[in-house]
Amino acid sequence: MIRRNNISKVRDILRIIKSSDTFFITSHLNPDGDTVGSELALLSWLKRLGKKVVVANLDPIPEIYHFLPGINAVHTKNKVTGNYDIGFILECSEPERMGNIIDFKKQLNKVINIDHHVSTITYGDINWFNSKFSATAEQIYLLIKNSKMMLTKEEAVCLYVGLLTDTGKFQQQNTTSETHRIVAELLKYAIHPEDIYQKIYATKSFFSLKLLGLALSSLRLVANGKIAYQEITRKMYEQAGLPEDDEEIINYPLSIPQVKVSILFREMRNNYGKVKIGFRTRSKVNVYQIAEYFGGGGHLNASGCILEGNLDTVKKRIINYVKKFI
């Protein structure tokens, strides 16, 4: 059972929290639902313990998560000032994934590194990572539950969003019996899954739909239809008038029966000369291994990486490798 295998890490973290006063929380670039939900639940719980807490990310929170309770407490900063007793670094397989937002060696007395990806390296004073967790939200849930404190409804909502989004609406292979057990507990707090689904997946702005249309117009099939790929260029972002809300675009080609792998190429708007690549699958193809080959990481079903180079060169390199891989 996951809980039993990780109880020593939970106890170590609870012990260090008890003896500390000031906390900093951050996560990876381009925050997602698990990032935001985990940060907010952790923030709320630490504040209930009487701790002083600052939460900040290098990149802004996507608009679809602005409904989450406590969202205004999450700051967007290029650099955080001040020193803290403890720094929680969530979902960052390596320090570089959080950007240059803080000098964790100088500004943080101790670092707690929490992640559920298989590619995480050891860089914290406490390193709690296990790929059997479906989301970091599971880890934060166990941390709060083992503190002998009840969750609040607001924390339950945030953790539910983390689980919902990082399992692809409970459809990916990282969804486990433990995931559903935790969801069952969260539902006891009278949260409303239908409202959450509506806000995250069923509510789109004109601009996000325009971006979706532009991306779908680039859809191509190769390898006898086993590989589908799309692209989002900087020009497309400008045409749509939207800098974000592109998370779901990569999933659309998976509705084509023969597609084994869906790839989305995105020119990085604020980092010229780099392309962000996402991989998704609902087959037995391990896209984590593909992403890892190019220096990235993620899950068996959902992974990604960033490569330097122009879009055409990167596309050719990636597609040729995936063809051989599958």
pLDDT of 138 reads 95
Please answer whether residues 176 and 203 qualify as being in contact, where contact means their C-beta atoms are separated by less than 8 angstroms. Answer: no
pLDDT of 302 reads 86
**SS3 state at 75:** strand
CA distance 280 to 301: 6
pLDDT of 120 reads 60
Q: Which residue, 25, 40, 41, 148, is CA-closest to 92?
A: 25
Please answer whether residues 69 and 43 qualify as being in contact, where contact means their C-beta atoms are separated by less than 8 angstroms. Answer: no
pLDDT of 99 reads 85
Global pTM value: 0.83
Using alpha carbons only, how large is the chain's radius of gyration in Å? 19
Low-confidence residues of the chain: pLDDT under 50:
1-2
pLDDT of 89 reads 94
pLDDT of 244 reads 59
Please answer whether residues 116 and 91 qualify as being in contact, where contact means their C-beta atoms are separated by less than 8 angstroms. Answer: yes
- Write the pLDDT tens digit of every residue in 110-119: 999 999 876 5
pLDDT of 4 reads 53
Q: Domains in the chain, ordered, with CATH?
A: 2-200 (3.90.1640.10), 206-325 (3.10.310.30)
pLDDT of 1 reads 46
